[in-house]
Amino acid sequence: MSRIAAVIGGGVIGGGWAARFLLNGWDVRVFDPDPEAERKIGEVLDNARRSLPGLGNVALPEEGRLSFHATMPEAVAGAAWIQESVPERLELKRKVFQAVQAACDVGAVIGSSTSGFKPSELQGCATRPEQIVVTHPFNPVYLLPLVELVPSEANPPEVVAQAKAVLTGLGMYPLHVRKEIDAHIADRLLEAVWREALWLVNDGIATTEEIDNAIRYGFGIRWAQMGLFETYRVAGGEAGMAHFIAQFGPCLQWPWTKLMDVPELTDALVEQIASQSDAQSGAHSIRALERIRDNNLVGIIRSLQPTNWGAGALQNAHDQARSGDMGLVQDISEVADIAAPVLTINRAVPLDWIDYNGHMTEARYLDAFAAATDRFMQIIGCTPEYIASGGSFFTAETHIRHIDEARAGARIQVRTRVLMAEGKKMQLWHEMVEGERMLATAEHMLLHVDLSTRRSVPPPPQIAGALQRFAAAHAGLDLPEGVGRAVGAPR
């Protein structure tokens, strides 16, 4: 399959799709008659390049090639994926699909970013309706993983499977909507909250900022990591969901909400909402708000990675799938040249690693080197399963030299070699680089420990043997400058 994606419509959503594909190594062709399209997409890409590479713990592939095209046939010819993101007018979308299918490959997937139309409506005038599916994303497309994948009866299972594979490969979560319905799943939920919010403003109950605070300081945080039903399952306590429904179900009969009604959007109400919104966040430009949003989203998703939960679990799976392509190995049998230092980290510096000086904070150097040690431990057989059985390595001493600075988005690599492997001891040397530039070195002395007694003991033969193989092979390398140096000692 070619790794070419065509994006038809370069607005906020189209630009987000372009960034998601481009930063995952796809070549992207854009068609948009707007003379400002290149500038607008360029600004979206600036934000994406700043935030997406550091979201995971494995480097993204080399960025694809971005090109802008004067005609739709130029953009879609040879593309494996075509994403339509034009305004929400059914007649316009149908015209786009007719033009696209006149020029695109018959095996390409054509996805629509529509937030409301059903796929059967979009397929109405199509030459090949089986190619067209709904792939409704959420803004910013380059960070939020959810995409609603909605087929119709015209789409064969292999098209749905092909779409799922591509979207998963981009680090997204394709939510397969099995039955067509207006506005799909997520927008129907959003509309219910939106209706209630409009009434609360209309009736003078709350301002736009107070409503936003109710969400972001309360249930929004719970929803971000656990969704709706699981949140209420926990609220039911030990008795579970049945107890929750028995306790709060009668409330659904009370006139709390106005879900079947909406206030008239008079000029006065629109002005009230707009003025409150401007007062709430007008101190920031849209681009600044986007960067603040991206910082927060990266922080929330990354905070879920250690517990392997929600969007964090999805990102972990995406990292694992890309590890091999980025040169990271899991086992000594996968090491191509045992005599060379081992690549143990290949990633970008994320936003939450940056300090007040605008570069990677010193604690994160230790974090990165500790992760490099963890990967090397896994390579020699000290896996999570082995640790669960009662053995591990403890760090006894560490010396880090900070040689140069790394900023947000910098692609860093750590290579690791064994200086010594004797009895209980493992001495490692890590070097962190950005391209050819040395950023830092770390020397670690570790002891193998029996976790039941918390005392140091020699590792078992399989781990000791793998470690000694590396030590013998690395003994032929020149001793690195700085080995054994004390703090403040002359070079």
Domain boundary among 176, 196, 214: 176
How many separate domains does the chain show? 3
Rounded (5°) CA angle 80-45-113: 50
pLDDT value of position 280: 80
List the binding residues.
9-14
Domain CATH for 226:
1.10.1040.10
- Are 89 and 20 in a shared domain? yes
Residue with tokens 């018959």: 106
What CA–CA distance (Å, rounded) separates 73 from 53? Answer: 31
pLDDT under 50: residue ranges of the chain: none
pLDDT value of position 491: 63
Confirm whether 481 is domain-assigned: no
Write the CB contacts of 307 (distance below 8 Å, at least 6 apart in sequence). Answer: none
List the binding residues for NAD(+).
9-14
- Are 390 and 364 in a shared domain? yes
- Are 151 and 198 in a shared domain? no
- Are 154 and 204 in a shared domain? no
**Residue 364 host element (H or E):** helix 362-379
Domain boundary among 176, 194, 210: 176
- Are 261 and 283 in a shared domain? yes
What CA–CA distance (Å, rounded) separates 114 from 118? Answer: 8
Domain CATH for 447:
3.10.129.10
Confirm whether 312 is domain-assigned: no
Confirm whether 92 is domain-assigned: yes
What CA–CA distance (Å, rounded) separates 277 from 282? Answer: 7
Domain CATH for 16:
3.40.50.720
- Are 102 and 214 in a shared domain? no
For residue 65, give its domain range.
Answer: 4-176
CB 30 within 8 A of CB 102: no
Domain boundary among 122, 152, 176: 176
pLDDT value of position 139: 94
What CA–CA distance (Å, rounded) separates 283 from 294? Answer: 18
Pairing of strands 342-348, 411-422: antiparallel
The alpha-helical segments, DSSP class H, found in 182-333 are 186-202, 208-214, 220-226, 229-235, 240-248, 267-281, 286-303, 310-323
Confirm whether 181 is domain-assigned: no
- Are 170 and 191 in a shared domain? no
CB 420 within 8 A of CB 471: yes
Listed residue (104, 60, 62) closest to 84, CA to CA: 104
CB 140 within 8 A of CB 294: yes
Confirm whether 317 is domain-assigned: no
Extract the runs of DSSP E, i.e. beta strands, from 201-359.
Answer: 342-348
- What pTM does this model have? 0.86
Confirm whether 221 is domain-assigned: yes
- Are 341 and 405 in a shared domain? yes
User: Within 13 Å, how many C-alpha atoms sit on residue 419's CB side?
Assistant: 17
- Are 159 and 232 in a shared domain? no
Confirm whether 375 is domain-assigned: yes
What CA–CA distance (Å, rounded) separates 12 from 140? Answer: 8
- Are 272 and 400 in a shared domain? no
What CA–CA distance (Å, rounded) separates 206 from 224? Answer: 23
- Are 465 and 332 in a shared domain? yes
pLDDT value of position 42: 96
Phi then psi for 358, rounded to 5 degrees? 80, 15
Confirm whether 147 is domain-assigned: yes
- Are 35 and 169 in a shared domain? yes
